[in-house]
Structure 1
Amino acid sequence: MHVGLIGVGLMGHGIARNVLRRGGFALTFLDHPGNQPADEILGLGATPVKTPADVARVADVVILCVTGSPQVEAIVTGENGLICALKPGAVVVDCSTALPESTVAMGAAVEAAGAHYLDAPMTRTANHAHEGKLNLLVGGDAEVLEKVGPVLASFTEDVDHVGVLGDGHRLKLLHNFVSVGFMTLLAEAAAQAADAGINPEVFTDVLANGGGASAALNRLAPYITEGNRDGLPFFVANAQKDIDYYRAMSQAAGAQATIADGVSAAIAQVVEGGEGQAYVPELVRLFRKPAI
């Protein structure tokens, strides 16, 4: 199968290198200013093109790895979008974090064009993407998933079929609410501990040996103790976007979102203060009280 990729960012670059190196598939990708440097994947034989339609003309499987629903909608149904040129029976695999309602609508547009759609949002980090060890939460037809299984296997450790189209993104938003919520809470506590002069290693040890032990602590501890943010290269602005998608999903479902509202408000202060491109671990610093 010929693979197309749109979105060679922090996660997409890892997907690309493993599709080429581990999977041995031909790869065509959208040349875009938001991409990470493409030297490695070009050296492995990837081909850049100018529009989503150009990707669709050659690809049997098109992987989307972009910021959110507006970007996905523009890629699928916009000018020179995928539906202008999808091959019959091609499969679009949306690995972005998107709103379930939008996902269902994009799936209908792709099906009307004679192709198939899966939502397959990722869990884990950019480091896992680089190593080819992402996990995917896939919504959609099981037979379509089986068809693209070899491509997905090239950059994943685990692929879970979680339900119908849209269920993957619904579960990803639930996952990210819990994950980002935990990390935001932890960052606020770590900021107060630092303001009070608590030894950061003592702080993390107390949590790790008690009720604070968690993946969130594991990801933030290097920043709390050493100032190393690189274990979680996830922008604060993207964290806010994911929380606000969760809030929109909750509102549409008539569900409570009291805690999500608080998490969003805490992160929004940072983004509005011009720090949206900080990594999430840096919330520990950004939540500290101003120096007198």
Structure 2
Amino acid sequence: MNKTYRVGMIGVGLMGHGIATSLLRGGHRLSFLEHPGNQPVEDLLAAGAEKLTSAREVAEHAEVVILCVTGTPQVESVLFDAGGVLEGLQAGSVIVDCSTAIPSSTLAIAERVAAAGGQFMDAAMTRTPKEAAEGRLNLIVGASDELFRDVRPLLESFSEHITHGGPVGSGHKLKLLHNYVSLGFTAVLAEAAAASRRAGIDDEVFLEVLGNGGGGGVVLERLRPFIAAEDPSGFRFSLANTLKDIDYYNAMAEDVGAERGVAAAIEALYRDINERGHGDRLTPELVALLGQP
């Protein structure tokens, strides 16, 4: 029989809500932090979840604390601020960071968690809120072999594919590499779609030609509903988060001395769109924004 865990969640937004749904479906006991950024939680409460008012309380009630927040500043705040996770962390408890974060910060966080008597792994996610609710996320994990083996059964309750990337920090490094490629392709494809429209090409023909050739793939399928019918729901990821992830990638590339000329151009594109006030728009809408005079 699979072990059931006492899990605390911080961050019940689009992805976190899906993870919470999958955890409850798997029979785990769940508490979560009440926060205005959460999705509606009535369904979680009806399924037996408990709502708590501080990160400290969440840690006190949990064997495993899952963080699903925006990025490095939010992770550091929820762990280390007054009333934070570290104040309530139980000896031997595990913190699983599912956010997208700067790897150098991840290593420093892991050291502070260990000094407080806890264990830490980064378990960066790919895929969408739909797969999170279905228990079909992809996870990229940075952890010791022993901790990965111990926690994997819990991760499997909300994931379809789990890759152990190496020691702590590896998950976040690989996630940034993944997102750089994914969001870089998105920028190229959105710019091409905007140029195609200006050139008088029918959208359906454009989609057919790319889909049958070198432009086919996951990114095209995410943008297809918007290009074909102005429906941005194929990629529910804000342009503000897009810029954040490219910024994080460039910070990592600079830290390791990697070439980043293309990444700098992609960052400049996303930064310009955000500075024009479009950070709350969903990423597929980049096609229309780039087509504006």
TM-score interval for Structure 1 and Structure 2 normalised by the shorter chain = over 0.9
Return the letter of the residue paired with 1:6.
I
Task: Let me know the Cα RMSD of the aligned residues.
Answer: 0.9
Counterpart in the other structure of 1:157: 160
Provide the C-alpha distance between the structure 2 equivalents of 1:199 and 1:253, rounded to a whole number of angstroms: 43
* Deviation at residue 254 of structure 1 after TM alignment: 1.3
Provide the C-alpha distance between the structure 1 equivalents of 2:198 and 2:68, rounded to a whole number of angstroms: 38
Does residue 1:169 correspond to 2:172, yes or no?
A: yes
Provide the C-alpha distance between the structure 2 equivalents of 1:44 and 1:150, rounded to a whole number of angstroms: 21
Q: Secondary structure at the match of 1:147?
A: helix
Consecutive unaligned residues in structure 1, runs of 5 or more = none
Does residue 1:25 correspond to 2:28, yes or no?
A: yes
Provide the C-alpha distance between the structure 2 equivalents of 1:261 and 1:3, rounded to a whole number of angstroms: 39
Counterpart in the other structure of 1:219: 222
Does residue 1:15 correspond to 2:19, yes or no?
A: yes
* Deviation at residue 289 of structure 1 after TM alignment: 3.0
Which of 228, 240, 243 is the aligned partner of 1:240? 243
Return the letter of the residue paired with 2:94.
V
Residue-by-residue CA offset, 1:178-202 (whole Å, 9 max, x unaligned):
0000001100110111122211110
Which of 5, 18, 31 is the aligned partner of 2:9? 5
Return the letter of the residue paired with 2:151.
V
Residue-by-residue CA offset, 1:135-168 (whole Å, 9 max, x unaligned):
1000011211222222211111011111010010
Counterpart in the other structure of 2:69: 66
Residue-by-residue CA offset, 1:61-84 (whole Å, 9 max, x unaligned):
100000000000111111111111
Identity of aligned residues (%): 51
Provide the C-alpha distance between the structure 2 equivalents of 1:142 and 1:282, rounded to a whole number of angstroms: 41
* Deviation at residue 42 of structure 1 after TM alignment: 1.1
Conserved? CA contact 1:77–1:109, under 8 Å: no
Runs (4 or more) in structure 1 with deviation over 4 Å come to none
Within 5 Å, give how 1:187-202 maps onto structure 2: 187-202=190-205
Aligned length: 289
Which of 261, 264, 271 is the aligned partner of 1:261? 264
Return the letter of the residue paired with 1:166.
G
Residue-by-residue CA offset, 1:81-136 (whole Å, 9 max, x unaligned):
11111111110000000000110111111111111000000011121112110010
Return the letter of the residue paired with 1:11.
M
Return the letter of the residue paired with 2:42.
D
Consecutive unaligned residues in structure 2, runs of 5 or more = none
Provide the C-alpha distance between the structure 2 equivalents of 1:242 and 1:202, rounded to a whole number of angstroms: 32
Q: Report the TM-score, using the length of structure 2 for normalisation.
A: 0.97
Counterpart in the other structure of 1:118: 121
Return the letter of the residue paired with 1:94.
D
Q: Secondary structure at the match of 1:120?
A: strand
Provide the C-alpha distance between the structure 1 equivalents of 2:128 and 2:193, rounded to a whole number of angstroms: 22
Provide the C-alpha distance between the structure 2 equivalents of 1:50 and 1:142, rounded to a whole number of angstroms: 34
Provide the C-alpha distance between the structure 2 equivalents of 1:78 and 1:163, rounded to a whole number of angstroms: 29
Provide the C-alpha distance between the structure 1 equivalents of 2:97 and 2:40, rounded to a whole number of angstroms: 22
Provide the C-alpha distance between the structure 1 equivalents of 2:150 and 2:55, rounded to a whole number of angstroms: 22
* Deviation at residue 232 of structure 1 after TM alignment: 0.9
Counterpart in the other structure of 2:231: 228
Provide the C-alpha distance between the structure 1 equivalents of 2:149 and 2:33, rounded to a whole number of angstroms: 25
Within 5 Å, give how 1:77-116 maps onto structure 2: 77-116=80-119
Provide the C-alpha distance between the structure 1 equivalents of 2:61 and 2:18, rounded to a whole number of angstroms: 21
Residue-by-residue CA offset, 1:235-282 (whole Å, 9 max, x unaligned):
110010000000011111111111111111111111111111111111
Residue-by-residue CA offset, 1:181-227 (whole Å, 9 max, x unaligned):
00011001101111222111100110111111121111111111111
Conserved? CA contact 1:138–1:159, under 8 Å: yes
Counterpart in the other structure of 2:144: 141
Counterpart in the other structure of 2:275: 272
Which of 269, 286, 290 is the aligned partner of 2:289? 286
